[in-house]
């Protein structure tokens, strides 16, 4: 059983500050929080794929598939957000299922490069085909989500304040489901495959099936995050899902740590807020800042930010032991 098993009450206690924040923050800060929540879903879903030991460079493109699916269905067919939201995830998962067979015939760097090739092929098709993807301009004027509530009429999520609560609800549901996967027997099998895939194969575990399951599941939630981003921005373009965004996602996970569920959440929270704090001064240097953060964490905290409390505890214990030894020497 993973050490990061937590009571559902922990999720509630974490959600309370997020519910209160919109009432004390301005519109700009709320915009940052909306993006932070969306990126949390993306980063944690990427960790699901990485649990099996494979890093997919097509993960951000899966996010784009979800966004394009929802944009097309809402813009040209008039389907409501509550229909296009799951459909965006399912289309991304379906594409992952189709590409899983050839991809998982490769391992390591070859899987890395193969996933990049597939992702770029999809992204370049969005650029080349003006119909139906809009070419370089993408798809614009995506309608804002609406909901009909008894006694309240129709609510339009067309402001940062209202969309924040929509994003918070969807993000909380996605994170909770992914957490349940992480602490389940399936999650344990993912981790076992990561550490010893040959041994798992010898024990009768279908490694290919579980790797495909992780890839498809992670792509589903990446598609959900893409739907949220597309409807929030009101547009979707192919340049939003390039290699730079994918590298940012990888850095979020590595800096935060991938050993526990909360690592990617910590990575997104820390680096996105750092980026916002430096927006007025070093925003053009953010790739370099991300690189320095990555190097610093790899050298000082190989387990990521999630290992920081443990490292502090170990440092305090070692310091206390040294003091005890010093007293013994003095008294002796």
Segment 24-80, tens digit of pLDDT: 988 999 999 999 999 999 999 999 999 998 899 999 999 999 999 999 999 999 999
pLDDT at 10 over 80: no
CA angle, 125 then 85 then 240, to 5° = 40
| 3-state SS, residue 4 | coil
Percent of the chain with pLDDT over 70: 93
Structure tokens at 246: 């994918």
What is the per-residue burial (b if ≥16 Cβ within 10 Å, else e) of 117-142? ebbeebbeebbeeeeebbeeebbeeb
| 3-state SS, residue 84 | helix
Among left, alpha and beta (phi > 0; psi -120 to 50; other), residue 34 is alpha
- Least trusted range by pLDDT, from 82-96, 131-145, 165-179, 283-297: 283-297
Give helix 286-300 / helix 262-277 axis angle, nearest 10°: 140
Residue of 211, 270, 174 lying closest to 55 (CA atoms): 211
Cis, bond preceding 120 (omega within 30 deg of 0): no
Q: Quick one: average pLDDT of 246-260?
A: 91
Q: Quick one: average pLDDT of 90-98?
A: 97
Q: Quick one: average pLDDT of 6-32?
A: 80
> What's the whole-model pTM score?
0.90
């Amino acid at each position: 059983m993973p050490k990061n098993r937590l009571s559902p009450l922990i999720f509630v206690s974490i959600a309370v500050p997020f519910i209160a924040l919109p009432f004390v923050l301005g519109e700009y800060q709320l915009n940052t929080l909306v993006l932070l929540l969306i990126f949390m879903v993306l980063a944690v879903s990427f960790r699901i794929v990485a649990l099996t030991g494979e890093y997919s460079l097509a993960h951000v493109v899966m996010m784009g598939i979800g966004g394009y699916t929802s944009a097309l269905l809402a813009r040209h067919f008039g389907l409501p957000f509550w229909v296009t939201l799951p459909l965006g995830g399912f289309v991304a998962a379906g594409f992952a299922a189709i590409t899983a067979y050839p991809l998982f015939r490769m391992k390591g760097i070859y899987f890395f490069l193969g996933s990049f090739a597939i992702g770029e092929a999809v992204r370049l098709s969005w650029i080349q085909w003006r119909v139906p993807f809009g070419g370089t301009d993408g798809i614009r004027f995506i309608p804002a989500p609406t909901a009909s509530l008894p006694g309240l009429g129709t609510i339009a999520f067309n402001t940062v304040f209202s969309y924040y609560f929509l994003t918070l609800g969807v993000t909380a549901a996605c994170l909770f489901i992914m957490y349940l996967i992480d602490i389940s027997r399936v999650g344990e099998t993912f981790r076992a495959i990561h550490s010893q895939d040959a041994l798992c194969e010898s024990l009768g575990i279908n490694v290919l099936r579980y790797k495909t399951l992780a890839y498809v599941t992670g792509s589903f939630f990446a598609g959900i995050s893409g739907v949220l981003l597309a409807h929030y921005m009101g547009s979707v373009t192919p340049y939003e899902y390039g290699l730079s965004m994918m590298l940012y996602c990888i850095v979020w996970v590595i800096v935060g740590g991938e050993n526990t569920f909360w690592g990617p959440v910590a990575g997104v929270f820390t680096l996105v807020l750092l980026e916002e704090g430096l927006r007025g001064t070093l925003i053009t240097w953010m790739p370099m800042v991300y690189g320095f953060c990555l190097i610093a964490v790899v050298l000082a905290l190989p387990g990521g930010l999630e290992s920081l409390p443990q490292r502090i505890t170990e440092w305090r214990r070692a310091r206390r032991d040294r003091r005890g030894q010093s007293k013994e020497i003095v008294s002796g």
